[in-house]
Amino acid sequence: MTEASGIRVRPATRDDAAAITRIYNEGIRGRGATFETRERAVTDVLPWFDDPRFPILVATEGADVVGWAAASTYRARACYAGIAEYSIYVATSHHGRGVGGALMPVFLDALDAAGFWKVLSRLFPENTASRALCARFGFREVGVYEKHGQLDGAWRDVVVVERLLGAARR
């Protein structure tokens, strides 16, 4: 758990699933962070808690959840067991208020403690806030997947970002 500028970061619980779902759905509606177009229900988010190996954190301001970070499987093959994909979403009302910057270091520590040697994600090139957050915390931009998927009928590229953890980083 950490606290910075009124934002507190802690491990998420199943009781946070409704808030996580709300924030995720804001991101889906915003069309700037995911190819997903179908909004989620709490029942879609609850299974994320079934595997304790994958950290899920929330950022709170007072009693309100204002952001979250979650890890998930990169690939099913055993050789990739030490690599996690991640997502960080911040409530629209809290964009630009340091929530991502509060979440990221605690999240990276949690991934390291869980035994992951690498974390990665894919970002829309125009998502400058996420790209800046990644750069700030030592992610490198590996390259661009061109026309990686369609969103609302338009092809979209993604920038692949990765960061080494633990012994792989040292």
The predicted structure's pLDDT at residue 3: 52
Residue among 116, 82, 104, 108 at smallest CA distance from 7: 104
Q: Check: CATH 1.10.8.50 for 2-121?
A: no
Domain ranges of the chain: 2-121
Note the pLDDT tens digit of each residue in 86-145: 999 999 999 999 999 999 999 999 999 999 999 999 999 999 999 999 999 999 999 999
Note the pLDDT tens digit of each residue in 66-82: 999 999 999 999 999 99
**Separation of alpha carbons 2 and 111, rounded Å:** 15
**Separation of alpha carbons 88 and 79, rounded Å:** 25
State which amino acid sits at residue 102: A
**Separation of alpha carbons 83 and 130, rounded Å:** 20
